[in-house]
């Protein structure tokens, strides 16, 4: 059996390095790849959350449900907390299946109200 030397492995290393560069360029080359979309979060919130949560200044028919702006105003709430909460099953909310991106977009929309 032949043992591999560093000389024999060099072409393989260059191929692997080239593949890694291409993968990083395609998957993570820009911050926009994983950017949160506040406008998409607003559209999703209006479609999925507005039945119970007030999206804007108008109150909803449910007095005990916090408006999204009140959630955003809480200093102990972060975008990551909202995202995680939305991805978990809830006893008091409809279990609407959301992708991680949609949950991040909704969280970004809610946190954008804090400004």
**Residue-wise pLDDT tens digits, 63-111:** 778 899 999 999 999 999 999 999 998 888 888 889 999 999 999 999 9
Entry pTM = 0.66
Are 83 and 107 a contacting pair, CB within 8 Å?
A: yes
Q: How far is Cα 65 from Cα 68, in angstroms, rounded to an integer?
A: 9
Domain spanning 36-112, CATH architecture: Orthogonal Bundle (1.10)
């Amino acid at each position: 059996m032949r043992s591999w030397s560093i000389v024999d492995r060099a072409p393989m290393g260059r191929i692997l390095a080239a593949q890694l560069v291409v993968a990083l360029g395609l998957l993570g080359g820009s911050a926009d790849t994983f950017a949160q979309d506040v406008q998409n979060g607003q559209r999703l919130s209006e479609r999925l959350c507005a039945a119970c949560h007030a999206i804007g200044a108008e109150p909803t028919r449910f007095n005990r449900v916090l408006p999204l702006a009140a959630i955003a105003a809480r200093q102990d709430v972060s975008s990551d907390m909202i995202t995680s909460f939305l991805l978990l099953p809830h006893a008091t909310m409809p279990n609407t299946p959301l992708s991680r991106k949609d949950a991040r977009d909704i969280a970004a929309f809610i946190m954008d109200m804090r400004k």
